[in-house]
Amino acid sequence: MSKDIESRDVSLRLFEYTAHHLSAKILSKEICATDLVKHFLERIKSVEPHIRAYITINEEDALKKATEIDKKIGNGETTGLLAGIPVAVKDNICTKSLSTTCASKILKNFIPPYDAFVVKRLKEEDAIIIGKTNLDEFAMGSSTENSGYKITRNPWNPEYVPGGSSGGSAAAVAADLSMMALGSDTGGSVRQPAALCGIAGVKPTYGRVSRYGLVAFGSSLDQIGTLTNDVKDAAILLQVIAGYDSRDSTSMQVSVPDYLNGIDSGVNGLRIGIPKEYFAAGLNADVHNALKDALKLYERLGAKVIDMSLPHTEYAVAVYYIVANAEASSNLARYDGVRYGYRAPKSNGIIDMYSRTRSEGFGNEVKRRIMLGNYALSAGYYDAYYLKASKVRNLIKNDFDIAFQQVDCIICPTSPVPGFKIGERAKNPLEMYLSDIYTIPANLAGIPGISVPCGFSKEGLPIGMQILAKHFEEKKLLQIAYAFERETDFHLKKPVLKVSSEQR
């Protein structure tokens, strides 16, 4: 910690504040952006070796940007919503002049020539990109064990996974290695790691946030989301990245409301749907009990809990792994060793070069999904698999459409378990895929969802509660989540981390 900060308050630990609190301190000149960034960089040097959340640390540029922001504030110039706030970015989101690897060896040396839409928006609002976070390779996984570079560890217990595929982003926020982070959510990859790491994770409506600059996995499912310490920070970060972008053909021209305005309106009279399919066999007892307690709290706050059904839920995982893998096999065909990325050094002709490049550059999980996707799209199997899956996907979407005629939101677990040990499911892909059983349906239907912490397991691991709403009702989701957060202290709990003496 710098001497300037120490002189203001010896006991002050800036990483324990939320972004909206720190933003106010920066604007009032109580602290300066440069000191804040230095503080986080020091924290990263001390804690990161034990968590392994980052692939790239953007130290030089972050300090330069912080200095510029301090000058703007000193000169009385107008600053953005996130002035001086360190934000981590998942390493499948393009950042100009800063490495973007997708945690894959095939993109080890790739440096994008442009910023993703969301990164451009962060910079416009004076946020500071502090680094690029680890993920399952090409966002394919639920544990961040499939990275081509490192395994990220859960800050609450380093023997456990942080979830995936945005495990690096979730762990960075939970371990106070960044104030906020961006992730991507194709089948739960923001909400599930948020749940396992005890933070707030938002998957916006498909089309609410531009996918321009997000390296594609499943194009009809991918959506960039937020990972933050609390719901108000989630509202601010979503405010920054949401909005129409002409460069993304799936971006919707829908107005973006003020997400903080009315966030404390409460839930009195709200109708909460409880789908029986999400509370069936396989749900961990600690998770079930935490959800029951949360629902009782909502009832005390004036909400009405309604039992309901989403009858096609049982098909969601099968549908997802046909649709997502089919789209992945198409999207990843571009990595051929010709235009950019890794190329096998020795080959016998162009076909052999393609084969060697992809065999050596991709990890096992990515190759597995490419092969499954190609199979589902192949002649003779397209109708039996991809076409049928697309039809069932529509049935799953219709289930939600019908449900939201009866209720204002749906509440359910985010993950069937609080977390699992590193290596526990690594050799059992089907068991790993079931980690996303409660998050996948929202991606198939394109609806928004948020996960917020609602308890802890007997082992001391965080438990997440998922709230789902109609398309483009993120404002309502944030309001419902904040009503719970305001009455509880789960979001205030912090993991005990292994750190150097300077940070104790």
Q: Give the model's pLDDT for residue 6.
A: 41
Residue 281 has pLDDT above 90, yes or no: no
Flag the least confident range among 3-12, 183-192, 326-335: 3-12
Residue 501 has pLDDT above 90, yes or no: no
User: SS3 sequence, 393-437?
Assistant: HHHHHHHHHHHCCCCCEEEEECCCCCCCECCCCCCCHHHHHHHHC
Binning pLDDT at 50, 70 and 90, where does residue 14 land? confident
Residue 107 has pLDDT above 80, yes or no: yes
Identify the CA nearest to 130 among candidates 213, 195, 44: 44
Catalytically annotated residue among 38, 90, 132, 476 = 90
Binning pLDDT at 50, 70 and 90, where does residue 500 land? low
165 catalytically annotated? yes
Mean local confidence (pLDDT), 307-332: 98
* Domain ranges for the chain: 3-317+387-493
Buried b (16+ CB within 10 A) or exposed e, 372-404: bbbebbeeeeeeebbebbeebbeebbebbeebb
Side chain identity, residue 395 = L
Q: Give the model's pLDDT for residue 339.
A: 86
- Is the separation of the CB atoms in 56 and 92 below 8 Å? no
Tell me the pLDDT of the chain averaged across its residues: 95
Side chain identity, residue 21 = H
Mean local confidence (pLDDT), 286-303: 98
Q: Give the model's pLDDT for residue 5.
A: 40
Q: At 224, is the secondary structure helix, strand, or coil? A: strand
Identify the CA nearest to 146 among candidates 166, 123, 131, 118: 166
Binning pLDDT at 50, 70 and 90, where does residue 498 land? confident
Binning pLDDT at 50, 70 and 90, where does residue 170 land? very high
Give the global pTM: 0.96
Residue 503 has pLDDT above 50, yes or no: no
Mean local confidence (pLDDT), 307-322: 98
Mean local confidence (pLDDT), 83-111: 97
Max CA pair span of the chain:
72
pLDDT digits (tens, 9 = 90+) for 447-472: 999 999 999 999 999 999 999 999 99
Q: Give the model's pLDDT for residue 16.
A: 76
Residue 10 has pLDDT above 80, yes or no: no
Q: Give the model's pLDDT for residue 2.
A: 42
In whole angstroms, give the CA distance from residue 440 to residue 229.
Answer: 23
In whole angstroms, give the CA distance from residue 468 to residue 315.
Answer: 19
Q: At 15, is the secondary structure helix, strand, or coil? A: helix
Mean local confidence (pLDDT), 240-264: 98
Q: Give the model's pLDDT for residue 116.
A: 98
In whole angstroms, give the CA distance from residue 401 to residue 444.
Answer: 13
Q: Tally Cβ neighbours within 10 Å of residue 300.
A: 9
Give the CATH superfamily of 3-317+387-493: Amidase signature (AS) domain (3.90.1300.10)
Report the half-sphere exposure of 466 (CA within 13 A, side-chain side). 32
Binning pLDDT at 50, 70 and 90, where does residue 8 land? very low
Residue 211: DSSP 8-state? -
Flag the least confident range among 9-18, 110-119, 155-164, 250-259: 9-18
Residue 222 has pLDDT above 60, yes or no: yes
Binning pLDDT at 50, 70 and 90, where does residue 11 land? very low
Beta bridge pairs of residue 450: 202, 467
Catalytically annotated residue among 23, 104, 147, 165 = 165
Catalytically annotated residue among 184, 189, 415, 435 = 189
Buried b (16+ CB within 10 A) or exposed e, 346-367: eeeeeeebbbbbbeebbbebbe
